[in-house]
Amino acid sequence: MPTENDVELELRDLRMLQVMLSEGSLTRAAALLDTTQPTLSKALARLRAHFDDPLLVRDGQIMRPTPKGAAILTPLRNLLRAADSLADPQAAPFDPRSSHRQFRLLISDVGMLRFLPPLMARLAELGPRLELEARSLDARSFEAKLASGEADLALGAYAKAPCDLRRQHLYTDGYLSVVRRGHPRRRRVARLPEFCAAQHILITASETGHAAHAMAQQAIESAIASDRVLLRLPSFVAAALVAAETDGIATLPANLVLAIGERLQLASFRPPIAMPPIAVAQYWHERYHRDPGHRWLRQVCFDLFAKRA
């Protein structure tokens, strides 16, 4: 019969397998699990022998699950959720005033401006000993970071968010275009011909920044000629700063313009082309859905941002 340590070892191996299958990279899996690649390699060898299947095979720079590896991922997640619930069936109530817990958020540069100041103020009021850490978003791995507990919440617009993550809609944002207040054609650039003829600062969508911006980027590039692009860059905040010092137009999320437009002396207008809405939500993993502290944080975020939008 397996000993208690054997059972724990098997659960640990299965947790490693879940992250390896989700990430497709031993390097990223080791970083998320705070372990080493040799440790993961040894666990993978044991699991391959147990399942009589390679589970993951190398394809260029990444590792892809075999059909059997892909098939067991969902049952594996369900098993680990059940194990977690058995480990702590009746968690103690969360008291923010006495807790020293550190909460970790995954957010973009816009999110850091939009969410952090009011959230920090609210935590200081409700839980003065609580700590908050913001981490940059990488849409390619944020599910694994939420699953492993490396992050508690992801806040923002993630068009390709995995369907098995929990989510709660906060608000829908739109776009505003901005120019510096001294722009020579400030009063005319809101018209379609002038807008298309002007120079533009384009924010490029990427998995490590604003993946949900891809449709908006395509809409702008379809409306203007390629020689009308003054600059391409990956940051909305940096684009706003460049617009404040040049004659370029930057098209930004409306909430960002409301937050920093006045300080940068920017004039704003609705872009004369159709732009997609920005659906902003908070995302978390099923493993932490019932955790009292996690539930408290989600409610604080919902009260702050769903009502402020």
pLDDT at 1 exceeding the cut of 50: no
- Give the model confidence (pLDDT) of 105-158 as tens digits: 999 888 899 999 999 999 999 999 999 999 887 777 788 889 888 899 999 888
Give domain 102-172+279-308's CATH architecture: 3-Layer(aba) Sandwich (3.40)
What single DSSP character describes residue 302? I
Q: What is the spatial distance between Cα 80 and Cα 52, in angstroms, rounded to a whole number?
A: 21
pLDDT of residue 90: 59
75 pLDDT more than 90: no
Report which residue type is found at 221.
E
Burial code of 289-302, b = ≥16 C-beta within 10 A, e = fewer? Answer: eebebbebbbebbe
Is there a contact between 92 and 292 (Cβ–Cβ < 8 Å)? yes
pLDDT, position 257? 96
- Tokens read off for 251: 């098209």
Q: What is the mean pLDDT of the segment spanning 260-270?
A: 96
The CATH 3.40.190.10 domain(s) of the chain lie at 102-172+279-308, 175-276
Supply the pTM of this predicted model.
Answer: 0.69
What is the CATH number assigned to the segment(s) 4-87? 1.10.10.10
If you ran DSSP here, which 8-state letter would residue 48 be given? H
Provide the pLDDT for residue 303: 94
**Predicted pLDDT of residue 87:** 63
* Helices of type H across 107-265: 109-126, 142-148, 192-197, 214-223, 236-243, 254-260
Residue 114, number of CB atoms within 10 A of its CB? 24
- The answer for 188, left when phi > 0, alpha when psi is -120 to 50, beta otherwise, is alpha
SS3 content of the chain, % helix, strand, coil (to 5): 45, 20, 30
**Which pLDDT value is given to residue 307?**
64
Mean of all residue pLDDT scores within the chain: 88
Query: Rounded to whole angstroms, how far apart are CA atoms 243 and 250?
Result: 6
pLDDT of residue 9: 56
Q: What is the pLDDT of residue 136?
A: 85
The pLDDT tens digits for 185-227 are 988 999 999 999 999 999 998 765 566 788 999 999 999 999 9
**Of residues 265, 262, 232, 263, the one with CA closest to residue 250:** 232
Percentage of the chain lying above the pLDDT 90 cut:
57
Q: With a cut of 80, say whether residue 49 has pLDDT above it.
A: yes
Q: Is it the case that residue 239 has pLDDT exceeding 50?
A: yes
pLDDT, greater one: 252 or 159: 252
Q: Provide the pLDDT for residue 211.
A: 66
Average pLDDT over residues 32-47: 88
At residue 2, the pLDDT reads: 44
State pLDDT tens for residues 165-185: 899 999 999 999 999 999 999
Q: Which two tokens stand for residue 124?
A: 């200081």
CB 285 within 8 A of CB 162: no
Question: Which amino acid, one-letter code, is at 41?
Answer: S
Average the pLDDT over each of 51-55, 59-63, 98-102 and give the range with the smallest value.
Answer: 59-63
Arithmetic mean of pLDDT, 237-247: 96
Q: What is the pLDDT of residue 133?
A: 94
Domain 175-276 belongs in CATH node 3.40.190.10? yes
The amino acid present at 8, given as its one-letter code, is E
| Residue intervals in the chain for CATH 1.10.10.10 | 4-87
CB 102 within 8 A of CB 132: yes
The answer on pLDDT for 101 being more than 70 is: yes
Which residue from 180, 223, 220 is spatially nearest to 202, judged by alpha carbons?
220
pLDDT grade for 89, boundaries at 50, 70 and 90? low
* Cα separation values, 163 from 69, 141, 257, 284, Å: 19, 14, 31, 11
pLDDT bracket for residue 308 (50, 70, 90): low
Contact 32, 16 (CB under 8 A): no
